[in-house]
Amino acid sequence: MAEHNATLETTLKLLLDEKKYSTIKDVLITMNPANIAGVFQELEPEKTPLLFRLLPKELAAETFVEMETDLQELLIKGFSDSELREVVEELYVDDAADLVEEMPANVVKRILAQADPQMRKEINEILRYPENSAGSIMTTEYVSLRPQMTIDEAIKRIRRTGIDKETIYTCYVTEGRKLLGFVTVKDLLMTNDDDKTIEEIMDKNVISVSTLEDQESVAQMLSKYNFLALPVVDTDERMVGIITFDDAMDVMEDEATEDIELMAGMIPSEKTYLKSNVFDLFKQRIPWLLLLMISATFTGMILNGFEDALKVQVVLTSFIPMLMDTGGNSGSQSSVTIIRSLSLGEIEFFDLPKIIWKEIRTAALCGIALSAACFAKLMLIDRLLLKNSKVTIAVALVVCCAMALTVLVAKIIGCSLPMVAKKLGFDPAVMASPFITTIVDAVSLLVYFLIATAILF
Amino acid sequence: MAEHNATLETTLKLLLDEKKYSTIKDVLITMNPANIAGVFQELEPEKTPLLFRLLPKELAAETFVEMETDLQELLIKGFSDSELREVVEELYVDDAADLVEEMPANVVKRILAQADPQMRKEINEILRYPENSAGSIMTTEYVSLRPQMTIDEAIKRIRRTGIDKETIYTCYVTEGRKLLGFVTVKDLLMTNDDDKTIEEIMDKNVISVSTLEDQESVAQMLSKYNFLALPVVDTDERMVGIITFDDAMDVMEDEATEDIELMAGMIPSEKTYLKSNVFDLFKQRIPWLLLLMISATFTGMILNGFEDALKVQVVLTSFIPMLMDTGGNSGSQSSVTIIRSLSLGEIEFFDLPKIIWKEIRTAALCGIALSAACFAKLMLIDRLLLKNSKVTIAVALVVCCAMALTVLVAKIIGCSLPMVAKKLGFDPAVMASPFITTIVDAVSLLVYFLIATAILF
């Protein structure tokens, strides 16, 4: 796709230089809003208002939604009030709310001034819901039907009011705003008797979410049930909006990125990598690096405590990286598996005993295999090949025992910490590799030197 | 959701014990296929065939699709040929192809024997495409329209043939199987003149994918364009199927899980955690653990090489874990950011110089901040508070210089390796934390001891 845009850009740049605006317009209107926004993003920002004005009204609004925040801001600042009104009028309420959330205060004032009173009210309603809640990502524009309507009347209503709705394919049956059921346009078209009422054909088994539900679980539900949209109800069970599959897809992508960033010890950011400047990246990365560096004081203290042992058997030092890395890797394998399963809703807190028992058995298998391989390596490579006479059988035994125990401890900590974190209301992804590595490091060094002291001295 | 299922299960178990089958049926038919499958999964497997036979034909087939493979296999083995035919007839072709792919050979034979010749042909066609390609996940059941049809004729065609199609909402306009454009049911309903032809209202700017396109990029495209479905064309540009948004959601989820597993040094698996037995987990985890343990031989060799320095200045040992962990964390921050951006298609190989330059500047900021904090910590905590007189200013300088350099090297390696891997045709996620940690460990130790030798001896 990127390559496709790249050649188009070059063409458009040439056409722009030659001021061939009607050709540019002809090219742009063959394109998809997401692609037009992509091309605009690559051109010089000062050309954007000019190009944007070439687009027909509806395409302009659709393209506007797909643009990055910085370009949207630039455009709005250049808009006359009537131009701004035209764009705002074409936006769906949830997109308008997103826009208002991301713009600076003076721009927001202008946007709200141009929205009609009904839309202004709806934008404000959406903005009142907490961040990442179902309410904050829903749209209030959906098709509602009355239970007494006939199929024919329902289709007429859809044809009359559907043009402004984000999806017309799932319609919600309400009475006094209470959600009774849903019908799909497929149901309406496939029923051969146009005089049947909506009540007779609607599906009463309607799954809804509350406005305060977490957006991630809403996305999971849409994906699980393969629905086009999920209705959102308030605390009095009155229908207030819908969340559509395309919003759910964005949420799934964002939440996976957020988990991955947290797992790697970063503060999640909504900016893409290329959009982030060096200082953004620094702010994302330095907190955990500092915290983890300081917490390494404990490993340092443990090593200081065993200074005398290290002086006598310097060879012990050379296995520290191997032990620490194996422990860290074992722990992060478990923690990452558990974090992902928690995200996907595959496991619950009451599964913890079952999970710990499974991890203990897995750790036993991994520990035995690793120790055996390690013993073979120490004897064959270090002792025979590299002729390191300090690697005695006793030393090898110490290393292998420490390794097996480290793997066991790492896997138990790795699987429990994320689950406990979730139970306590923290994001389990924070408990991933870097955090667990630091704990496992300290434990593995302690185990190593205790075993060494017992066997070698 | 899980809690909801939990109470339902208890009720159903009680009803089952009391053999109240008609009540069970009444309960089940109020539920969604995904939920019924979830409940079945939790009950004793031998009860499933009995419960399954209570479901009406269509709901039974929909529930069947949502079940885990093991339960599907158990059911099929218990089915009579006519029961099997009823289920297979109700399946969409892509679901049937999935089923055939996952079942053992003797079960596959029975399934194909019950499918009608047309479906058998279509299943075989889908199975011929490589794993993870667009062709392998598409369905061949879509609504196709002719360009000369009027809107009225088109709606009639949809009503007549739509019942068996996975989505009716986007219809594809074809002539001699060549894809000319698409119309949505919304377009059809919103156009007020029923005598207009499809050709007049269709959108000719149709975005399609080839059968061999990677499923991940198809999912990205569906998410980018907010389409309900994308048409799939063969090498002769003839339309062969569609991929719907719900399949794209599953792909996005699976691909994110696969990336996360690879990043944590595991062989990806399609089984969920609770479904995996201990030996599955062992096989997933041991290869990388073994490889990384063996590769730690290099760090051991470096430490052995500087044995004499370590004997004189044992205090140097106590900073090894801090240096290694900080290096590892810095490297994995960069690699994980880059891997995710590559997955989302945000960066390309030609961005590499720009990325390295950004990482170098970020590393400089992080390195300075970390070194300063580390110096302060060494002076205040180790020297003043813990009264460790061996932590001289010279030692502190060695540690801080080594730390800054390690961060720099870690970030450069961390951002370049995944991009180079992708360029060479490997999955960049393999180049994440564990792999980079091992390399960065070796580099950081080398840097540390070289600086130590230069300053302290």
Q: ipTM of the assembly?
A: 0.78
Which of A152, A318, A384 is the best mutation test for B, with the most CBs of B within 10 A? Answer: A318
Query: Residue A230 pairs with which residues in a beta bridge?
Result: A243
Q: Do A325 and B441 touch (CB under 8 A)?
A: yes
For chain B, percent of residues with pLDDT exceeding 70: 98
B200: pLDDT strictly greater than 50: yes
Cβ–Cβ of B252/A250 closer than 8 Å? Answer: no
Q: 């760090």: which residue's tokens? A: B299
H helices present in A306-432, as ranges: 307-312, 320-343, 352-377, 393-423
**Band (B1; pLDDT cuts 50, 70, 90):** very low
Burial class (CB in 10 A: 0-12, 13-18, 19+), A27: middle
Distances B425 to A81, A228, B445 between C-alpha atoms, Å: 51, 36, 31
On whether the CB atoms of residues A217 and A345 are closer than 8 A, the answer is: yes
- Nearest residue in chain A measured CA to CA from B257: A340
Give strand ranges (E) for B187-287.
Answer: 209-210, 229-233, 239-244
CB distance A243 to A208 below 8 Å = no
How close B174 comes to chain A (CA, Å)? 19
Chain Cα centroid distance, residue B135: 18
pTM for this prediction:
0.78
The per-residue DSSP string of B162-201 comes to GGGSS--SEEEEEETTEEEEEEEHHHHHH-S-TTSBHHHH
Rounded-to-integer distance, Cα A294 and Cα A305, Å: 18
Which of B293, B310, B434 is opposite residue A374, by nearest beta carbon? B293
Stretch B48-73: mean pLDDT: 86
Instruction: Test A189 with B317 for CB contact under 8 angstroms.
Output: no
Separation of first and last alpha carbons in chain A: 65
Q: Which residues of B touch A189 (CB under 8 A)?
A: 155, 158-159, 162, 168, 185
Nearest by CB to B300, from A304, A322, A354: name it. Answer: A322
Q: Is B300 in contact with A382 (Cβ distance < 8 A)?
A: yes
What's at A358, amino acid-wise?
K
Q: Which of B234, B426, B398, B218 is nearest to B318 (CA)?
A: B398
**Which of B169, B329, B441 is closest, CB to CB, to A434?**
B329
3 state DSSP class of A214: strand
> H or E element: which one contains A175?
strand A170-175
Residue B170's closest chain A neighbor by CA?
A: A169
Which of A157, A289, A388 to probe by mutation at the B interface, max B CB count within 10 Å? A289
Question: Which residues does B198 contact at the CB level (< 8 Å), separation at least 6?
Answer: B145, B146, B147, B148, B149, B150, B151, B154, B173, B183
Extract the tokens encoding A214: 């977490």
Q: What is the pLDDT of residue B3?
A: 43
Report the C-alpha gap between B297 and B24 in whole angstroms: 62
| CA B396 – CA B401 distance, rounded (Å) | 9
Tell me the two tokens of residue A99: 């826009």
A321/B369 CB distance under 8 A: no
Q: In the numeric block, which tokens belong to residue A435?
A: 């955090």
Of the candidates B251, B414, B435, B440, the residue with the CA atom closest to the CA atom of residue A332: B435
The residue type of B385 is: L
User: Could you tell me the strand order of the sheet in which A170-175 lies?
Assistant: A144-145, A170-175, A178-184
Q: Which residue is listed with tokens 């209107």?
A: A29
- The residue of chain A with its CA nearest to that of B390 is A304
- Chain A interface mutation, best of B281, B359, B382, B436, highest count of A Cβ atoms under 10 Å: B281
Q: Which of B55, B356, B21, B336 is nearest to A434 (CA)?
A: B336
The DSSP output letter for B32 is: -
Strand ranges in A148-306 using DSSP code E only, listed in sequence order: 170-175, 178-184, 209-210, 229-233, 239-244
Whether the pLDDT of residue B152 is over 80: the answer is: yes
CA distance A263 to chain B (A): 9
Name the residue facing A273 among B1, B319, B346 (closest C-beta): B346
Instruction: For residue B221, count CB atoms less than 10 angstroms from its CB and return exposed for 0-12, middle for 13-18, buried for 19 or more.
Output: buried
Rounded CA gap, A287 and A138, in Å? 33
Answer yes or no: is pLDDT of B303 > 70: yes
Contact B370 A30 (CB under 8 A): no
* Cα distance between residue B154 and residue B160, in whole Å: 10
Q: Give the mean pLDDT of B366-395.
A: 89
For A130, which DSSP code? P
CA distance A127 to chain B (A): 23
When CB atoms are compared, the residue of B185, B314, B325 closest to A307 is: B314
- pLDDT (tens place) for every residue of chain A, 457 residues total: 344 555 677 778 888 888 888 888 888 888 888 888 888 888 888 888 888 888 888 888 888 888 888 888 888 888 888 888 888 888 888 888 888 878 887 888 888 888 888 888 888 787 888 888 898 888 888 899 999 999 989 988 998 888 778 888 999 999 988 999 999 999 888 888 888 899 999 998 889 999 889 898 899 888 888 889 999 998 888 898 899 998 899 898 888 888 888 888 888 888 888 888 888 889 988 988 888 888 888 888 888 888 888 777 888 888 888 898 899 889 988 998 999 898 888 888 889 999 999 999 999 999 999 999 999 999 988 888 888 888 889 999 999 999 999 999 999 999 999 999 888 888 888 777 677 888 888 888 999 999 998 888 7
Residue type, B59: L
Q: What is the pLDDT of residue B6?
A: 55
Q: Using only C-alpha atoms, what is the Rg of chain A?
A: 30
Q: How far is A384 from chain B (nearest CA, A)?
A: 14
**CA distance linking residue B27 with residue B8, whole number of Å:** 9
Distance CA A162, CA B244 (A): 22
Q: The sheet that has A239-244: what strands, in order across it?
A: A209-210, A229-233, A239-244
> What end-to-end distance do the CA atoms of chain B give, in Å?
65
CB distance B282 to A337 below 8 Å = no
Two tokens at B79? Answer: 């089915």
C-alpha span between B162 and B167 (Å, rounded): 8
Q: How many CB pairs under 8 A join A and B?
A: 358
Asked if the Cβ–Cβ distance from B296 to A370 is below 8 Å, we say no
Do residues B242 and B142 lie in contact, with contact meaning Cβ atoms separated by under 8 Å? yes
Contact present, B106 and B135 (Cβ < 8 Å): no
Are the beta carbons of A260 and A242 closer than 8 angstroms?
no
Mean pLDDT of chain A, nearest integer = 86
CA distance B32 to chain A (A): 8
Q: Is the pLDDT of residue B367 over 90?
A: yes
Q: Do A341 and B286 touch (CB under 8 A)?
A: no
Q: Do B336 and A304 touch (CB under 8 A)?
A: no
Q: Say if the Cβ atoms of B362 and A329 lie within 8 Å.
A: no
| Whole-angstrom distance, CA of residue A182 vs CA of residue B358 | 51
Report the relative pairing of strands B170-175 and B239-244 from DSSP bridges.
unpaired
